[in-house]
């Protein structure tokens, strides 16, 4: 996360950008070694939650996503700070909700970081996520905000804390990610998500061991060496094993059948492909921008009820800019 503060006194205005992320798969849903889940994920450019916050005499949320969700986050942050009120938030851009891009965690981190900075409290993203009950199963959202890039987390342990980020890696600069979005569906969230996890059968220990080996000995080395084909094989192995485990809850290996068809096509061509979180958003990684744009145009012409977006990976985290206002400046 980059940060810029003009003065040492608590700022009067804070701008925060919290980038979207792909959650590309769990590693160990068995938990027999004392930690459960473990994740890989990728930070994205082009999609982000962006807010402006300033001290005020009232609490107010406005903008493109002035939802009850944002207001509840602000109330909880101020409760944690021991402040009765006095922050106005303007949401200038927002990650789409419940499509697998991490909207809830990034909104919480953006508002929490902004409000705490306004009152002179320097909370780290992981500590803030814990205070706001985010990162219960995955550290990818916190890692995307704090560091960016490709992220590996170590799963949830016995302590009541978000999963630790074990490593981050720069994603190859020339690779591009094509997002496949089915606007007719939403992924599981809230109570439905909790119920789904409770209802799933026990994940086999041998499958968890296999996926950890695939990650350590195939996926991560391929990423370091920019070996797209081997990276594709490893990602697809994780996606299939975990997707099949979640199939009873999401109606199949992937949530959206139209997205699934395109992912199967991409995987057959040895391109990294899969679903982010509970979906329905899918992703395909291409070796360069030209090939990604060409495939976007082809699929868009054939699938008029779906949206496609070519993104760069973001090899740095969120942004926080804190500043004092000139005496004569009007409030935003």
Predicted pLDDT of residue 183: 82
Q: Are residues 126 and 3 in the same domain?
A: yes
Q: Quick one: CA dihedral 178, 65, 57, 127, positive or negative?
A: negative
Q: Quick one: CA dihedral 199, 33, 100, 111, positive or negative?
A: positive
Kindly report the CATH number assigned to the domain that includes residue 232: 3.30.70.890
Q: How many structural domains comprise the chain?
A: 2
Q: Is residue 66 part of a domain?
A: yes
**Model confidence at 134, in pLDDT bands (50, 70, 90)?**
confident
Q: Are residues 49 and 38 in the same domain?
A: yes
Residue 157 phi, psi dihedral angles, 5° rounding: -95, -165
Q: Quick one: CA dihedral 25, 216, 236, 30, positive or negative?
A: negative
Q: Are residues 70 and 205 in the same domain?
A: no
Cβ atoms within 10 A of the Cβ of 56, count? 15
β-bridge pairing 37-55 and 13-28: antiparallel
Q: Are residues 322 and 210 in the same domain?
A: no
Q: Is residue 100 part of a domain?
A: yes
Predicted pLDDT of residue 331: 54
Q: Is residue 46 part of a domain?
A: yes
Q: Are residues 224 and 296 in the same domain?
A: yes
Q: State the average pLDDT over residues 169-180.
A: 98
Q: State the average pLDDT over residues 154-159.
A: 90
Q: Are residues 151 and 277 in the same domain?
A: no
Q: Does the pLDDT of residue 332 top 70, yes or no?
A: no
Q: Is residue 276 part of a domain?
A: yes
β-bridge pairing 176-181 and 282-286: antiparallel
Q: Does the pLDDT of residue 328 top 70, yes or no?
A: no
Q: Are residues 122 and 10 in the same domain?
A: yes
Please tell me the distance from the alpha carbon of residue 12 to that of residue 165, in angstroms, as a whole number.
Answer: 32
Q: Are residues 37 and 147 in the same domain?
A: yes
Q: Is residue 45 part of a domain?
A: yes
Q: Does the pLDDT of residue 164 top 80, yes or no?
A: yes
Predicted pLDDT of residue 57: 84
Q: Are residues 322 and 254 in the same domain?
A: no
Q: Are residues 141 and 204 in the same domain?
A: no
Q: Are 122 and 285 in contact (CB under 8 A)?
A: no
Q: Is residue 332 part of a domain?
A: no
39-43, 166-170, 258-262, 319-323: the lowest-pLDDT one: 319-323
Q: Is residue 130 part of a domain?
A: yes
Predicted pLDDT of residue 162: 83
Q: Is residue 248 part of a domain?
A: yes
**Model confidence at 94, in pLDDT bands (50, 70, 90)?**
very high
Q: Are residues 161 and 179 in the same domain?
A: no
pLDDT (tens digit per residue) in 255-285: 999 999 999 999 999 999 999 999 999 999 9
Give the Å distances, CA to CA, from 317 to 6, 21, 77.
20, 10, 21
In 135-288, at which residue ranges do the beta strands (DSSP E only) sit?
Answer: 150-153, 165-169, 176-181, 273-275, 282-286
**Model confidence at 4, in pLDDT bands (50, 70, 90)?**
low
Q: Are residues 21 and 122 in the same domain?
A: yes
Q: Write out the residue range of the structural domain in which residue 101 sits.
A: 1-170+313-327
């Amino acid at each position: 996360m980059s940060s810029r503060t003009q003065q040492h006194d608590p700022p009067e205005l804070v701008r925060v950008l919290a980038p979207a992320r792909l959650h590309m798969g769990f590693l160990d849903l068995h938990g027999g070694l004392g930690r459960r889940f473990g994740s890989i994920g990728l930070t994205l450019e082009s999609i982000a939650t962006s807010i402006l916050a300033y001290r005020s005499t009232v609490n107010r949320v406005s903008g493109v996503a002035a939802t009850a969700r944002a207001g509840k986050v602000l109330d909880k942050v101020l409760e944690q700070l021991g402040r009765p009120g006095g922050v106005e938030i303007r949401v200038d851009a927002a990650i789409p909700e419940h499509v697998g891009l991490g909207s809830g965690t990034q909104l919480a981190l953006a508002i929490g970081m902004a409000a705490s900075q306004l009152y002179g409290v320097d909370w780290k993203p992981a500590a803030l996520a814990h205070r706001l009950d985010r990162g219960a199963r995955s550290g990818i959202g916190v890692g995307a905000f704090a560091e960016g890039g490709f992220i590996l987390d170590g799963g949830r342990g016995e302590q009541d804390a978000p999963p630790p980020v074990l490593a981050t890696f720069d994603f190859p600069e020339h690779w591009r990610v094509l997002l496949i979005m089915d606007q007719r569906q939403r992924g599981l969230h809230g109570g439905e998500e909790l119920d789904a996890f409770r209802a799933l059968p026990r994940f086999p220990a041998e499958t968890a061991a296999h996926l950890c080996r695939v990650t350590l000995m195939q996926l991560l080395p391929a990423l370091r060496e920019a070996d797209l084909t081997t990276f594709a094989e490893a990602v697809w192995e994780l996606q299939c094993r975990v997707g099949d485990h979640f199939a009873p809850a999401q109606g199949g290996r992937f949530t959206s059948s139209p997205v699934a068809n395109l992912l199967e096509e991409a995987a057959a061509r040895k391109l990294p492909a899969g679903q982010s979180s509970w979906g329905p958003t899918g992703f395909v990684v291409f070796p360069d921008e030209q090939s990604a744009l060409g495939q976007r145009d082809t699929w868009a012409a054939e699938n008029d009820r779906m949206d496609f977006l070519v993104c760069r990976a973001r090899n740095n985290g969120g942004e926080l800019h804190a500043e004092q206002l000139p005496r004569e400046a009007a409030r935003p």
